[in-house]
Amino acid sequence: MKSLLVILRMAALAVLLCSSVCAEKIAVDPYKNGGSTASREEPGPDLRLAQKITYTSTEKRLHTVLEEITKKTGVDIKCGINADDWHVRDIPLVVCVKNLPLGKLLRAIADATHLALSTSTVKGVRRYRIWRDPARQNQLAAYFKNLEEAKNTTLNNQWDAWATLKQKGFSAMSYGDSEEEKSKSVMLQSAADVMSALPAGSKEAVMSGKLLSFDIKSSPSRLAQALKSYFQNLGIYAKDSYEADHSEIFAEDGSSYRPEPPRDLTEADMEKMRFTVGSQRSYFDSMVMVPGLFDLDSLSGLYMGLDSDSMLATDGLYPPFSGDEAFSKLHEDDPADALEPPSTDYSRTMTKLDDEHRAITGMDGKFKIPKPKEDMQQTFADLVVDIAEASGFSIVCEDFHSHAMSNIVDCFGLYDKETTLRALLVAPPEESDSAESSDAVLNEDGSAVASKAGSKTEPELDSKAGVTDAFSSDHWVSDTDWFADTSAKLVVGWHSAWWDQHKALAPEKLIAGLISKMNGDGLEIDDVASTLLLPNDQYAEWILNHRDLGGPFFFRMAVSNLDFWKIYAELSAKNKALAKSKDGLPLANLPRASVLTAFSKSAEMMGKTGDLGTLVMMHNWRASRPEMEQRMQAWRMQNIPQMSDPESANAGLTIEEQVRSLLEAFPEMKSALEPPPTDPAKILGLKMRLVRVDLSGSKAAMLVRIPLGEGKKKPHTYRLTFEGDGITVDAGSLGQIYPLYSEKRANEFIEEQKKQSEKKEPK
């Protein structure tokens, strides 16, 4: 009998330990012994996984968290396939657990990061690995491949919808009976007429990534007439829209004004206007001068309307719809919407915290979150830790919020108030419209259908807790899927579009290196140029959207010749040194294809550049020539009135007039607008030169708070040129002034200078 009890206890312990690792089988580690495949045997219980762990980490990457847990527990936990697998190792994570079994913690981390948890035995000792196995990797790759195909299908379908809508006639294009709706219907018909009059091969060009522009003067007669009608009807719609809604606009001081009505379009206006059609990706790619400002990979569908210059020339006139309008009017389904995202595999013990599971028990314990001692804004990671510590629950969550300057959360109103996890984390039910709304559900007699018992149209208020469910509609909750194992007092979370966030993840080594240098000796040209090699989505999320990097990079990185700068960024250290030398770097020494492609793209872009793009290129060219600063200041004072002067605020030059005036005042700027050569022989005969330009004492340097004291680096920038055989191609600067410091470091320099000045002053 005694032996039987021992056996039963051992069996119960085995079940406990296995369940604490995961609710499913743990895959065998295929990378043990340097990559040999281990036999797939059912792993036995590991007594070490029962040890209780108390651990907190904020804004750390997955590999750091696992390294610290390994050190704390003595259990070997590997991260990724190997040390170079940064796509897995660098996933950001926030962890705050108390007395949680190690097995459950590892399972929670694997769940939160959408990775596999595997085990293997090395020299008789069990070790663990959290990694992206082939099945998960293939699923992600297949999703993004299918997404691209769906986007191409969407573009094709939206183009074809214009012909289908035109065939259905004007009745299918109607919006309503008001004057504004009638003129919008006419606009839609005009757009369909233009699309049907486009030259043969236009659709194929757009599908291949081309952006097409057409004006009245250079178009065949049928297209020219359709364009003129489109522009005229756009002017009529603008007036009808203004009449429908031109209410007062109130300023902060209580004053108000009515916006000016749109002016009548003249024949001269319409001759300058250009109708543009292409994919949304190609349109935004053509107009954006700041890399990463838009995640171009996320854009899909057809753009149709005016180019940016036309909108500027007509005082902001723009069409009421774009290229997807015909598709929408036909009520077609977007294939991209039907695409299933990668599946989420998580422990069966977890329950999703959503409207369907609002009745989950164990989430109503009351607690208060103490207000931080320091009066400061909290990041997502800070909030997660505050909630975990106050509620007594352990929380493990993927963290794609804390790095972003747009996601620093102001917690005013949250602290020192009684609340519950349900109020904080369970998403509130969607608000329904009132009975007076046209979308309300009505009975046959026209009366509103009575709401179900217990339902509310407003966010629920937990009167006992004192915090509304509306708090959970904040972005850091609404962008996060939360799951709970209430028996273990454990909550696990991840980004609701985690697959996009994983794709846009940038290497920790790069980001941390940039921040470290900005807080130290400052960034230099090679540091900044290296970021140009990041994919667009990584640059958008981890450079421009980063709370420490976004400001300096956004405001000082508008450049029209990115492809030329990417050639420099890809150079070896030796070739970069040659490019910085007096003799320069022969382009013939570089890969022929990449060089010719960069020149081809630049020439194509220069051919499409309108007045706005031209103005940006001119100012970019001037930015690396401090000797022109005083002349430029004088030109500005003469031609661009101060916006603080109400009498002259609207009397400044238009974009087109600025370009013309600048070329008259600075004829040397014409070199910035000359297209590069296209002859391969001439291109490969050029030399690349990176010229350092000293900016000491310039107003630009003072504006970015560059320290000018002794012993500090003098402010400077760089100009990239390609020269040879009487040809000069000026790629301008990257816009930055070096060394590039963080605001924190710049303030430290200012304080140091103040102290030094005070010491020198006589008592």
Average pLDDT, the chain: 78
Sequence-distant (6+) residues with CB within 8 A of 336 are 147, 150, 151, 153, 154, 300
Region class of 542: left (phi > 0), else alpha (psi between -120 and 50), else beta: alpha
Model confidence pLDDT, tens digit, residues 569-621: 999 999 999 999 999 999 999 999 999 988 888 877 776 666 666 777 777 77
Residue 212, SS3 per DSSP? strand
CA atoms within 13 A on the CB side of 349: 18
Model confidence pLDDT, tens digit, residues 375-407: 667 788 988 999 999 999 999 999 999 998 666
Position with higher pLDDT, 759 vs 501: 501
Q: Write out the H or E segment, with its range, that includes residue 398.
A: strand 394-398
Model confidence pLDDT, tens digit, residues 702-749: 545 555 444 467 788 899 999 998 888 888 888 778 888 887 777 777
> Does the model's pTM come out above 0.85?
no
Q: From CA 316, how far away is CA 1, in angstroms rounded?
A: 90
pLDDT at 676: 86
Position with higher pLDDT, 114 vs 341: 114
Average pLDDT over residues 411-419: 75
Rg of the chain's alpha carbons, rounded to an integer? 31
Average pLDDT over residues 30-44: 45
Model confidence pLDDT, tens digit, residues 90-113: 999 999 999 999 999 999 999 999
Sequence-distant (6+) residues with CB within 8 A of 22 are 103, 107, 110, 117, 347
Decide if pLDDT at 652 tops 70: no
Average pLDDT over residues 689-701: 77
Position with higher pLDDT, 72 vs 336: 72
Q: From CA 560, how far away is CA 687, in angstroms rounded?
A: 20
* Structure-token match 């320091």, residue found: 374
